[in-house]
Amino acid sequence: MATVRLLKDTEVSAEALAVFDEIRAARGTDFINNFWRALAHDPALLRATWDRLAAVMSDGALNPLIKELIYVAVSAANSCEYCVHSHTAAARAKGMTDEMYGELLAVVGMASQTNALATALQVPVDEQFLS
């Protein structure tokens, strides 16, 4: 259960509803997930978060699928249950195969392991990496 009530379409402000409409148009579905319904209590925060997310996750030098894989990895490292589920689902919708997912998990696990080792050992950064 969230710390705030999840707002229905009929309960949100006009400003928030306009964001919901943009999300629906961008995704081609009527479904609005809970994250946005929780943020809708603060239309300015909802607007800023959606606008920035749409810009950041759009196609560019990295394609949307690669961006979702990175998003899943960060969400796991930050222990965000909601984000792990929502972005893993998004990655699959954008074409992540079972093989890709297995490799993503392996990299996330390996990075977490060597992160812990390097931090525990306080290894100084090689000069070669700083040039």
Pick the closer one to a copy of itself by CB: 18 or 64.
64
Instruction: Supply 55's token pair.
Output: 């810009």
Residue pointed to by tokens 């977490």: 112
Residue type, 59: D
Is residue 23 within the footprint of a copy of itself (CB under 8 A)? Answer: no
Q: In the bound complex, what is the minimum distance in angstroms from residue 21's beta carbon to a copy of itself?
A: 19
Q: In the bound complex, what is the minimum distance in angstroms from residue 68's beta carbon to a copy of itself?
A: 9
User: CA-CA distance, 15 to 13, in Å (whole number)?
Assistant: 5
Pick the closer one to a copy of itself by CB: 10 or 119.
119
50-87 in b/e burial notation, b at 16+ Cβ within 10 A? beeeeeebeeeeeebbebbbebbbebbeeeeeebbebb
Spatial contact of 127 and 101, defined as CB atoms under 8 Å apart? no
Pick the closer one to a copy of itself by CB: 17 or 38.
38
- The footprint of a copy of itself on residues 47-106 (CB under 8 A) is 48-49, 52-53, 55-57, 60-62, 66-67, 69-89, 97-106
x/- letters, 28..47, toward a copy of itself (CB under 8 A): ---x-xxx--xx-xx-xx--
